[in-house]
């Protein structure tokens, strides 16, 4: 019960407290519109993937390949936009995301391989492909597409994603099934739910989100390089956990976890940098916050239990 309440209120409360704290400490510098835009732009990618990752985390899964996937999608996006156009690029990155979701989900669930291993393997494969493809020259995006980098467009995309995912999660059986699988996959299967199919579906939805994020990331970066997308999956993982998502999934999973957590991380990073901290320390700070959050929110059994 106590863990439940902590999980529900702490992330949002934490976000507000931290933001206000930095506002006070930095003398209001974090409230300037350019800083707020900066926070939004940085957190956009993590928020988008965090929202789309809800189904995966709800069923207790994890996707460690999305860094490489983002890189590949950035590559596909820039090549398509240079040669064909925006809409085909969008379609192609979405397709790539779908295929990637089928790969990681299908191989893990039907091949009985732990999903974090499949994820890591795919990560390396994607990274390898990306490195080869970008080894010849830096590929850059044509200027006419810079409108895509505006916070207005991205806000629309984000709201649309949250609306769609939120609806599917709360008002269709998909959300219930994913949480049930996370709570007890065996019992759920015995209730007649095709747990394997729904597990793969979760990764496909995440893949689509990552694909779209990749297109926007590419425009923001101006192109693609061999390191594109690095550590993306870790940022998303930390974000959802900070946002209150239980690692084993189940009934307490919520769509808002990705949103709140992403903002929280970025606000913290942004705040420290504003106060003059060495940007190199930021990783260390992230790590400490992560483990502290898990410590407080993870369900830990005290002592022994007799049935």
Partner 1 sequence: MEKEVILKCTKMCKSFGPTKALVDVDLVVNRGEIRGLIGENGSGKSTISSIVAGVLPYDSGNIEFLGKPHKPADMLEAQQAGISMVVQEAGTIQNLTVMANIFVGKEERFSRGLFLDKKAMKKEAQQILDEIGASHIRADDSIMRYNFEDRKLVEIARALYEKPELLIVDETTTALPHKGREVLYRLMKKQAKENRAVLFISHDMDELMDNCNAITVLRDGRLIATLNEDEMSIPKMRSLMIGREISDEYYRTDLDGSFGEEVVLKAEHLSAGEILEDFSFELHRGEILGIGGLSDCGMHDLGKAVYGAVKLLTGKVIYKDGTEIKSPAAAVSKKMGYVSKNRDIESLILSSSITSNVALPSLNKLQKGVYLSAKDEEALTNEQIKEMSIKCENGAQTVDNLSGGNKQKVVFGKWIGNKAEILILDCPTRGIDIGTKVAMYKLMYRLKQEGRSIIMISEEIPELIGMSDRIIVIRDGKLSGILERSDTLNEHSVIECML
Segment contacting partner 1 by CB under 8 A, of 85-93, 118-126, 191-199, 215-223: 191-199
Q: Closest CB to partner 1 among 95 and 185?
A: 185
Residues 1-30 touching partner 1, rule: CB under 8 A, are 1
Handedness of CA 87, 92, 93, 94 (dihedral sign): positive
Angle (nearest 5°) at CA 145 between 72 and 80: 40
Check residue 278 and give left, alpha or beta (phi > 0: left; psi -120 to 50: alpha): beta
Whether 177 and 188 have beta carbons less than 8 Å apart is answered as: yes
Task: Build a one-symbol-per-residue string for 143-182: x at contacts with partner 1 by CB under 8 A, - elsewhere.
Answer: ----------------------------xxx--xx-xx--
User: At its nearest, how many Å lie between partner 1 and the CB of residue 247?
Assistant: 13
Residue from 34, 143, 144, 304 in contact with partner 1 (CB under 8 A):
304
Rounded least distance, CB 207 to partner 1, Å = 21
Lay out the site mask for partner 1 across 240-279 (x = CB under 8 A, - = otherwise). Answer: ----------xxx---------------------------
DSSP secondary structure string for all residues of 111-128: HT--HHHHHHHHHHHHHH
Q: What span, in angstroms and rounded, lies between the C-alpha atoms of 140 and 219?
A: 9
CB 237 within 8 Å of CB 290: no
The residue ranges that bind partner 1 (CB under 8 A) are: 1, 171-173, 176-177, 179-180, 183-184, 186-194, 250-252, 303-304, 306
């Amino acid at each position: 019960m106590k863990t439940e309440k902590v999980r529900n209120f702490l992330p949002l409360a934490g976000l507000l407290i931290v933001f206000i704290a930095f506002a006070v400490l930095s003398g209001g510098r974090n409230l300037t519109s350019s800083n707020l835009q900066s926070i939004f732009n940085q957190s956009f990618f993590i928020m988008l993937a965090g929202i789309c990752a809800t189904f995966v985390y709800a069923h207790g899964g994890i996707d460690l390949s999305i860094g490489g996937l983002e890189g590949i999608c950035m590559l596909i996006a820039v090549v398509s936009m240079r040669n064909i156009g925006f809409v085909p690029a969008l379609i192609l990155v979405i397709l790539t995301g779908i295929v990637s979701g089928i790969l990681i989900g299908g191989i893990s669930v039907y091949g009985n391989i732990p999903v974090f291993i499949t994820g890591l393997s795919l990560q390396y494969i994607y990274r390898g492909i990306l490195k080869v493809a970008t080894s010849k020259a830096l590929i850059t995006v044509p200027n006419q597409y810079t409108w895509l980098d505006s916070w207005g467009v991205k806000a629309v995309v984000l709201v649309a994603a949250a609306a769609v995912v939120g609806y599917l999660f709360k008002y269709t059986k998909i959300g219930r099934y994913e949480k049930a699988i996370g709570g007890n996959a065996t019992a759920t299967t015995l209730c007649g739910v095709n747990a394997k199919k729904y597990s793969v579906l979760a990764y496909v939805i995440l893949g689509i989100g990552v694909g779209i994020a990749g297109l926007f990331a590419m425009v923001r970066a101006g192109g693609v390089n061999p390191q594109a997308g690095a550590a993306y999956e870790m940022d998303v993982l930390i974000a959802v956990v900070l946002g209150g998502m239980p690692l084993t999934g189940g009934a307490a999973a919520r769509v808002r976890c990705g949103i709140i957590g992403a903002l929280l991380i970025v606000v913290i990073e942004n705040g420290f940098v504003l106060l003059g901290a060495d940007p190199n320390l930021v990783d260390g700070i992230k790590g400490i916050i992560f483990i502290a959050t898990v410590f407080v929110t993870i369900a830990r059994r005290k002592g022994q239990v007799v049935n």
